[in-house]
Amino acid sequence: MSEITLKDITKVFSPVHQRRTATEAARAMASTGASKSEILGATGCTLALHNINLNIAEAERCAIMGISGSGKSTLVRLINRLIEPTSGQILIKGDNVLTMPRDTLRHLRRHTVSMVFQSFALFPHKTVRENIAYGLVIQDKDKTTISEQTEKWVHAVGLTGYESAHPNELSGGMRQRVGLARALAISPRILLMDEPFSALDPITRTEMQDLLLALASNLSITIVFITHDFNEALKIGQRIAILNDGKIIADGTPRDIVSNPVNEDIRQFVQSTHWPGHILAKELMEPLSANTLTAKNALCVQMDETLNSILRKIGKRMPQITVVDETDRPIGIIAPQVLNIAPD
């Protein structure tokens, strides 16, 4: 069952004084294929999203990517109704978020869905410890639980020793660690992340990506990660949805996206990135079945090895590749032709 389902979601931002009339005109133009600029010029409305359909599985890391103005930040804010859609349905485990009474929606935001923002959104007057504990206080947890969970997440994100510091005493990366810890401290099922690392320097950004992946490996949590960086989408996402002009133009695994670009825009994304360093053996392989034979001279690689690492090992020859797990048990094979997707 999907954790998050978006059905025919459309979002139009329209002038307040003529909202209904302008919105309907914008939707009518969108249905005929009019561009965002054409709709803005004719109606004064901004078409942020149009007929979005997306299913995100439980415990899946879904990266939603697009350039500025593509609608990705609007989309993630629709999931917990920070923004109301113009039309469509938003389901979390089958429950329609758009019809939830105020108290049910408040419970969803406090217990089920957490969010990490690009701008950190920390309380400047609260310490690191108090910021991380905030969601637990709102949940009305007892003091012992609050203390234990707060200390757990202070340690988990590497902030031991900074518990009493205030946000203005921290670097950008440390502040984002606080934001991540605060979001995870309430034990949510869903974590929404709106370009959380884009304001960080490259080294800190890589550290935060690695930290997120390390934490995610130990949590059964669904992550919706917004980014404009294709390399970051490949690294974080088990699945990638690409938005352009408010529409999903591609949706699939990293392998799907890089091996079969659906249009010239995506082909340019692929060509401009270092994706072989992010695609893993387990994402390239075909799982072993009872009828699958492994070649005697097959090259064995670990399931978490990158395509770059594999290419360095094989040189110019193209053997069959056997993928093994942590115990060196064969779990799949990579056929030679699959490696042809790699750039020269």
Contact indicator for 45, 209 with CB cutoff of 8 Å: no
Contact indicator for 240, 233 with CB cutoff of 8 Å: yes
Residue 295 predicted with pLDDT over 90: no
DSSP, collapsed to helix, strand or coil, labels residue 275 as: helix
Percent of the chain at pLDDT exceeding 70: 95
Average pLDDT, integer, range 320-341: 85
pLDDT band at 317 (very low <50, low <70, confident <90, very high): low
Q: What is the pLDDT of residue 290?
A: 62
pLDDT band at 318 (very low <50, low <70, confident <90, very high): low
Q: What is the pLDDT of residue 293?
A: 59
For the whole model, what pTM was predicted?
A: 0.90
320 compared with 184, residue with greater pLDDT: 184
Average pLDDT, integer, range 154-168: 97
57: which strand partners?
A: 2
Q: Which among 226, 232, 289, 278 is positioned nearest to 255, based on CA atoms? A: 278
Residue 24 predicted with pLDDT over 70: yes
pLDDT band at 294 (very low <50, low <70, confident <90, very high): low
Q: What is the pLDDT of residue 263?
A: 87
Contact indicator for 2, 224 with CB cutoff of 8 Å: no
Residue 17 predicted with pLDDT over 80: no
Contact indicator for 14, 26 with CB cutoff of 8 Å: yes
Q: What is the pLDDT of residue 344?
A: 61
* C-alpha distance across the termini of the chain, in Å: 40
On average, the pLDDT of the chain sits at 91
Q: What is the pLDDT of residue 265?
A: 83
DSSP, collapsed to helix, strand or coil, labels residue 9 as: strand
Residues 231 and 211: their CA atoms lie apart, in Å, by 16
| Domains of the chain and any CATH numbers | 56-89+97-275 (3.40.50.300), 281-341 (3.10.580.10)
Q: What is the pLDDT of residue 338?
A: 75
What sign has the CA pseudo-torsion 227, 231, 234, 235? negative
125 compared with 307, residue with greater pLDDT: 125
Structure tokens at 260: 């079969």
Contact indicator for 278, 231 with CB cutoff of 8 Å: yes
Q: What is the pLDDT of residues 239-293, one digit of tens each?
A: 999 999 899 999 999 888 888 888 888 888 787 777 888 888 988 888 887 666 5
Q: Which among 209, 197, 127 is positioned nearest to 162, based on CA atoms? A: 127
Q: Which among 182, 212, 189 is positioned nearest to 79, based on CA atoms? A: 189
Q: What is the pLDDT of residue 296?
A: 67
Q: What is the pLDDT of residues 40-89, one digit of tens each?
A: 999 999 999 999 999 999 999 999 999 888 999 999 999 999 999 999 99
Contact indicator for 81, 98 with CB cutoff of 8 Å: yes
Q: Which among 208, 181, 216, 227 is positioned nearest to 65, based on CA atoms? A: 227
For residue 78, which amino acid is it? L
pLDDT band at 298 (very low <50, low <70, confident <90, very high): confident
